[in-house]
């Protein structure tokens, strides 16, 4: 038992691991030694291809990974020029220089001096050319692996605007951002994270607009990521949050739209692109930005203001409605109108469970149906929704297991939570907590829990920027685009970057 407690303590105690440092093992001037090292490194993998050739008496080899390159480009753009050039009388270094400057004409070419660089490039779709007697290799980019085409993102749909969404290839995502922002100050920096996965991560920001302190702090946190594998952007989010800070809300934003990310970059934010992930992380990220969508800026100001007010109302409904309903029905039923009170009292009297237990049960059943609809194939997911909505709900009411008013409250709460998809996770957990607080402590329990959530929001910051800015600390200029969205003639007069917001301390506190 003691050892079990020690193991739990070791697992859950936060410790700063050693950051991943890429090794640098110099290449040998022996072609055979280099090939043997790579074969041993890849454990004689079946997809490692080594094509040994002779260039006018000089031994050479073309190394690549099968199905990661375009074989036609390899044959016509690399092997044919190599066999067609006369290397007679050249030394190994002269042969290498001739290949680099006179034989190959590929646009993407890189010089490699270590085994680790060679491994990275051939796993990225490069063909590496090695020459006997030379301690350097030449990588040519001839990527030919299959990738998904650019399409509209499914989870971030807009009515008016671009239909382009990020894809899994980080290079394609970089080009999409470059095409949206044709500015020479748009800067990209790449790094490798994960000792096992060696995932490529790219930082994108606007030089001169983004705070250098935030950039340095972000780099430091990324370098201190001690996860051995990074397979999706969610692996990085906990390492980018503030240390020892607990909150249901995240200070790291996520977007699948290049136009949204470009808008954030112009405000001084930094985008984090992860290879293999069709979404981009945005830091710093504020709470008010969850209620902003691209359609708000495509429509007229008065309509955008109306929809934004609806989003704020929907968020509070999704979080508070079950708790308020349970608290009033349990402790203060006299606050209901007379006709509504008679219906609610009749439904409570006809069901075997208490109002709090009934509400929790319906929420639990709803979450089960939601997960089933998400994980099952799409046609079956529709069937689950129909069965859950028509059969289970209607049958449970007629059987007297649950009440119709309670089912209506939970249904209204669930629909409201989908108005802001990025806030679904915190609102789903918080409404259960508010339901317990309302059922056990009444309306005062709901009020106390609401104060706790507000204090937690106001005390949170993202890379030194207060999370609830510009509401608190208050900024009159930035309030033009929070609850009320001003017209473009007003929004375009003065712009305010994230580090210029009141209360911002971009030096960070980690």
Cβ of 45: how many Cβ atoms within 10 Å?
Answer: 12
> Is 176:165 a contact under the CB 8 Å cutoff?
no
Phi-psi region of 430 (alpha: psi -120 to 50; beta: other; left: phi over 0): alpha
CA dihedral sign, ordered 356, 359, 363, 369: positive
How many angstroms separate the first and last alpha carbons of the chain? Answer: 35
Cβ of 457: how many Cβ atoms within 10 Å?
Answer: 17
Q: What is the pLDDT of residues 404-434, one digit of tens each?
A: 888 889 989 989 998 998 999 999 999 999 9
pTM for the full predicted model: 0.84
Q: pLDDT tens track of the chain, all 510 residues? A: 555 555 555 555 544 555 555 678 889 989 999 999 999 988 888 889 999 998 888 899 999 998 888 888 888 889 999 988 888 878 888 898 999 888 887 778 899 999 988 998 898 889 999 999 999 999 998 888 777 778 888 777 777 778 889 998 888 899 999 999 988 999 999 998 988 888 899 999 999 889 899 999 999 999 988 888 888 888 999 999 887 778 899 999 999 999 999 999 998 999 999 998 999 999 999 999 999 888 888 888 889 999 999 999 999 999 999 999 999 999 988 888 888 888 888 888 888 888 999 999 889 888 888 887 777 776 666 666 666 666 677 777 777 788 888 888 998 998 999 899 899 999 999 999 999 999 999 999 999 999 999 999 998 998 888 999 888 888 777 788 888 888 888 887 766 677 777 767 765 444
CA dihedral sign, ordered 163, 167, 169, 170: positive
Chain length of the chain: 510
Q: In what order do the strands lie in the sheet with 199-206?
A: 186-193, 199-206, 270-274, 280-283, 253-255
Alpha-helix runs per DSSP H in 228-287? 237-240, 258-266
Q: What is the pLDDT of residues 32-81, one digit of tens each?
A: 999 999 999 888 888 899 999 988 888 999 999 988 888 888 888 899 99
> Is 436:420 a contact under the CB 8 Å cutoff?
no
Domain boundaries, the chain: 31-141, 170-290, 298-459
Pairing of strands 270-274, 461-462: unpaired
Q: Distance between CA atoms of 507 and 316, rounded to whole angstroms?
A: 33
Tokens of 440: 């056990």
């Amino acid at each position: 038992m003691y050892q079990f407690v020690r193991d739990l303590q070791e697992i859950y105690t936060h410790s700063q691991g050693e950051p991943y440092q890429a090794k640098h093992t110099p290449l040998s001037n022996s072609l055979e030694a280099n090939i043997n090292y790579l074969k041993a490194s890849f454990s004689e993998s079946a997809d490692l291809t080594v094509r040994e050739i002779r260039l006018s008496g000089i031994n050479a080899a073309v190394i690549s990974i099968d199905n990661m390159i375009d074989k036609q480009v390899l044959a016509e753009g690399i092997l044919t020029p190599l066999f067609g050039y006369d290397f007679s009388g050249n030394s190994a270094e002269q042969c290498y220089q001739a290949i680099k400057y006179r034989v190959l004409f590929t646009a993407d070419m890189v010089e490699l001096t270590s085994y680790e660089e060679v491994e990275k490039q051939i796993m990225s779709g490069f063909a590496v050319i090695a020459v006997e007697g030379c301690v350097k290799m030449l990588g040519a980019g001839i990527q030919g692996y299959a990738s998904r085409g650019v399409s509209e993102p499914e989870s971030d749909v807009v009515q008016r605007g671009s239909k382009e969404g990020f894809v899994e290839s980080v290079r394609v995502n970089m080009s999409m951002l470059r095409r949206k922002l044709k500015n020479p100050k748009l800067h990209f920096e790449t790094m490798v994270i994960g000792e096992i996965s060696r995932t490529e991560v790219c930082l994108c920001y606007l030089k001169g607009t983004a705070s250098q302190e935030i950039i340095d702090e972000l780099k430091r946190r990324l370098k201190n990521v001690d996860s051995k594998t990074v397979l999706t952007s969610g692996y990085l989010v906990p390492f980018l949050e503030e240390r020892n800070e607990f909150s249901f809300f995240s200070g790291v934003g996520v977007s699948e739209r290049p136009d949204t990310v470009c808008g954030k970059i112009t405000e001084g934010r930094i985008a984090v692109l992860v290879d293999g992930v069709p979404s981009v992380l945005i830091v710093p990220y504020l709470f008010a930005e969850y209620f902003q969508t691209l359609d708000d800026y495509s429509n007229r100001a008065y309509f955008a203001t109306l929809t934004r007010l609806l989003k704020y109302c929907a968020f509070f409904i999704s979080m508070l409605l079950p708790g308020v309903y349970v608290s009033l029905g349990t402790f203060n039923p006299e606050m209901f109108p007379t006709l509504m009170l008679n219906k609610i009292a009749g439904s409570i009297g006809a069901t075997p469970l208490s109002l709090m237990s009934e509400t929790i049960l319906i929420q639990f059943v709803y979450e089960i149906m939601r997960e089933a609809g998400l994980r099952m194939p799409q046609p079956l997911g529709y069937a689950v929704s129909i069965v859950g909505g028509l059969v289970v709900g209607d049958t449970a009411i007629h059987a007297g297991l649950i009440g119709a008013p309670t089912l209506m409250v939970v249904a209204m709460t669930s629909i409201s939570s989908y108005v802001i998809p990025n806030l679904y996770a915190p609102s789903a957990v918080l409404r259960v907590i508010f339901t317990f607080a309302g059922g056990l402590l009444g309306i005062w329990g709901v009020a106390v829990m609401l104060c706790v959530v507000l204090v937690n929001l106001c005390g949170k910051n993202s890379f030194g920027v207060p999370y609830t800015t510009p509401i608190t600390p208050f900024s009159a200029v930035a309030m033009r685009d929070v609850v009320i969205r001003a017209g473009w003639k007003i929004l375009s007069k003065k712009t305010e970057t994230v580090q210029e917001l009141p209360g911002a301390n971009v030096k960070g506190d980690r």
